[in-house]
Amino acid sequence: MKAGHGLRIAVFGDIVGRSGRTTVVERLPRLRRDLNLDFIVVNAENAAGGFGVTPRICEELFDAGADVLTTGNHAYDQRDDIAIFDREPRLLRPANFAPSNPGRGSAMFQDSQGRNILVIHVQGQRGMFPVDDPCAAVDRELAAVQLGREADAVIVDFHAEATSEKYSMGHHLDGRVSLVVGTHTHVPTADDQILTHGTAYITDLGMCGDYDSVIGMEKTEPLHRFVTKIPGGRFTPAAGAATICGVVTETDSKTGLATSVSALRTGGRLREIRPDF
């Protein structure tokens, strides 16, 4: 472990469409500065028109200050250039996708002080398309890396539908990683906490997008489908003011476990929440 204070890490929820993407790009540099952030992870799986991510969008987010981008079940929706998952080591797809799929599900990164941060990305099984066991996938990624020794911090983005599956993952990893965040549902939960053995946890970060919507999509088509059970057109991202949703965690410099965790919400329609440190 490097000597000195622990890491201050922010993870931001699924970016949805142009509104969410533009707001994150505009505000991320100031958030990094104002909150004195050492490392930033952003889930970008809905950044390209609500479906997937493109090389240009990746560069915009990296230039704005994102250190790592995660994705999820929409990782490969922009099929024209999915080879970016092989080319760009800072872009992750879930580790429990088929091994032959483009990209990687975890990687070790360094902050500006040379501290090692392992980011692991997995997808849930309940209510999602079939994938391998996410718990086994995370265990494999952790087999050669111990928090507090090889890694100064370990972050897990668990892209999953079921709250019970997310909580189970949190308890499965409690004491072995710094932070477990849930993504995918686009609805922020109010359960940011430090679990019994020192791992920070939140069931879902929420999205970075317009909340005057149906989970980020313009309301007309989702409502039409719910009422009539007949598709009337394509889903399109809502274009109103976006709320940025995420979580900020501080770690212990010796153990890598969490010493504090707080939800972060700013802009748009939702009530503002800022960390009190």
Q: Which residues are catalytic?
A: 74
55, exposed or middle or buried, with CB in 10 Å at 0-12, 13-18, 19+?
middle
CB neighbour burial string for 175-193, b if at least 16 within 10 angstroms, e if fewer: ebbbbbbbbbbbebeeebe
Nearest CA to 111 out of 203, 206, 4, 196 is that of: 4
Nearest CA to 128 out of 84, 89, 85, 96 is that of: 96
> Which residue is listed with tokens 């398309």?
129
Residue 188 DSSP SS3: coil
Cα 62 from chain centroid (whole Å): 14
> Which residue is listed with tokens 């890694």?
151
What is the bridge-based pairing of β-strands 244-251 and 8-12?
antiparallel
Bridge partners, 40 (sequence order): 10
CA distances from 125 to 90, 114, 170, 179, 251 (A): 24, 35, 15, 20, 29
Return the beta strands (E) in 96-241 as ranges. 106-110, 116-123, 153-159, 179-183, 193-194, 200-202
Instruction: State the Cα–Cα distance between residues 161 and 121, nearest whole angstrom.
Output: 15
